[in-house]
Amino acid sequence: MDLSNKRKATLKQLSFLGVMCGLAAGVWLGAQSATGELVFLNISPFVMTAATVIGVFVARWSLPTMIKGTTYVFTDIGKSKHLIVWGVLAGALWGIASTLTFFAIKDVGLVVAVPIWNSNSIIGLIWGIVLFNELRGAKKKQLTKAIGGVFIMVIAMIILSIATTTTGATTGMAIHGLLAALGAGLLYGTMYIPYRKAYLSGMNPLSFVTIFTVGEIITVVVIGILFLGGSTFGNAIITAGPVLFWVFLGGAIWVVGDLFQQFACKYIGIGRGIPLANTNQLWSTAWAALVFMTMRGFGVGTITAIISGVVVMVIGAALLASAQPETEERKFWNKAILRECKRYKLDKKYTLDAVDGKDPLGDKIKGLRWWDYLILVVAVGIFAVLACFAVIPPLPMNPFWLMMGIASLVVSLVWVGWLLKKYTGFS
Amino acid sequence: METKDKQNYSMTKAILTDIQFWIPVGILIAGIFILIFVSM
């Protein structure tokens, strides 16, 4: 195989990997939404968001620490210090967007709010094209499949949102609710600018997630204290004790989903990666319908709409999965990479190697240190303590579908984790 | 040459003159204003 063909084969592998990561992100992020069903106490949105983010933060130091270790992560961050600002910014965007979604639901209901903020994949696509040369140089066929796929995914999300949610009691403050939903969509979609920036600079997703979680935690704690007051906020978190384990568990599942999402952004870009990760709606619908049986008593019309939404989403995902970036488009990506190298004085070879899934840093820093094991023990210990106080919610569950749901998580984790290790060594 | 280039490099300046930085910052500020408005 000559050099050019070998390179083409490598790029094809990376694109395939990116698609698999996007789909695995959908499986995990969908399961995270489902854990909301386990929170049976009435908790303030600010407290719920903050507790989830604290869970995310703790979980980030569990399994992911074992993949690369802290020495690797902090050396990687030190190589692109400017990305600390970007990571914290991305976390802040997530924190504000997440809080806005609660206001949107309160004021106009899920049916109106969810489809509006789900437009974030279109925002991500626009930023990908305008700022990072995504889809430039792509053949007409690829372009049609990618853009068509994104729009089909958004239509599917709207169908599923309308079919699976009820408006419930709203405050009727339509302008407030619409603004909150629009704001959430814009912020979520813009959050992917820092993601893409990090991966065009050669940073490892494990390192970027570390900074991101710091940005998240600062933002939600500040918002919680400002809106509820320090003591009320602290007391509310303590009162939530019996359900904190479930919220933290949701955070842990979110971390895995987000890591897959970040690897997808790295290897296929935000324009394709984000909509593929948005297949999470399909999985959260499956958890709600099959495991928690929340759709019992739904009419034929609703069930038909749900099935149509699922079919449309699968078509959209298939289109996106088949629209993988080719050599010509990659040349435009390289221009975006060189821009970062020039502006932030990055080592070109190191950056290009890292973007290509090689692990130049991993060759120098290997293995885990004793403190990595200590961090793992503390993180797992926090989960164990919370589990002791956890109360199992009085919720009917279908044991067969529960096992199937858990199996989908394990299979996607093992399969895509193995692919990541084989092709990139988690780079 | 490259060493001289690196010596003159200011990370803060590189970030602040990057248009890609101001887009998320602008949208974050807009988001904070929206949050204040909808929570009133």
Question: Chain A residues with CB inside 8 Å of B18's CB?
Answer: 343
Question: Chain A residues with CB inside 8 Å of B28's CB?
Answer: 89, 92-93, 96, 187, 190
pLDDT, tens digit, for every residue of B19-38?
Answer: 999 999 999 999 999 998 98
| pLDDT grade for B3, boundaries at 50, 70 and 90 | low
Q: State whether the Cα torsion A44-A48-A54-A57 is positive or negative.
A: negative
In the numeric block, the tokens 């935000």 are attached to A270
Q: Which two tokens stand for residue A26?
A: 């959908």
Number of A to B CB contacts under 8 A, please give it.
73
Does A343 reach chain B within 8 Å, measured CB to CB?
A: yes
Does A349 reach chain B within 8 Å, measured CB to CB?
A: no
Chain A residue at shortest CA distance from B39? A103
Among A89, A183, A343, the residue with its CB nearest the CB of B24 is A89
Angstroms from B40 CA to nearest CA on chain A: 9
Distance CA A99, CA A188 (A): 11
Q: Give the pTM.
A: 0.89
Rg (CA), chain A: 21
Please indicate whether, in this complex, the C-beta atoms of B31 and A194 are within 8 angstroms of each other.
no
Q: What is the pLDDT of residue B24?
A: 96
Question: Chain B residues with CB inside 8 Å of A186's CB?
Answer: 27, 30-31
Interface ipTM above 0.90: no
CA angle at residue A93 from A33 to A97, to 5 degrees?
45
Does B36 reach chain A within 8 Å, measured CB to CB?
A: no
Question: Chain A residues with CB inside 8 Å of B20's CB?
Answer: 131, 193, 197
Mean pLDDT of B2-14: 72
Does B39 reach chain A within 8 Å, measured CB to CB?
A: yes
Among B14, B25, B32, the residue with its CB nearest the CB of A344 is B14
Does B23 reach chain A within 8 Å, measured CB to CB?
A: yes
Angstroms from A313 CA to nearest CA on chain B: 29
H helical segments located in A191-347: 192-200, 205-228, 230-239, 241-268, 270-277, 280-286, 300-322, 327-344
Distance CA A151, CA A324 (A): 17
Please indicate whether, in this complex, the C-beta atoms of B38 and A107 are within 8 angstroms of each other.
yes
In a structure prediction context, what are the per-residue pLDDT tens digits for chain A, which is 427 residues long?
A: 565 778 788 888 999 999 999 999 999 998 987 777 776 667 777 777 888 888 888 888 877 778 888 999 999 999 999 999 999 999 999 999 988 887 887 777 766 777 778 788 889 889 999 999 998 888 888 889 889 988 898 888 888 777 766 545 555 577 888 899 899 999 999 999 999 999 999 999 999 999 999 999 999 889 888 888 888 888 888 887 788 888 888 889 999 999 999 999 999 999 899 889 988 888 888 888 888 887 777 778 888 888 888 888 889 888 888 888 888 888 899 999 999 999 999 999 999 999 988 888 888 887 888 999 999 899 889 989 989 888 887 778 899 999 999 999 999 999 999 999 999 999 8
Q: Which two tokens stand for residue A89?
A: 């910014």
Question: Taking a C-beta distance cutoff of 8 angstroms, is the pair A77, A211 a contact?
Answer: yes
Distance CA A181, CA A110 (A): 10
Closest CA to A272 of A22, A17, A34: A22
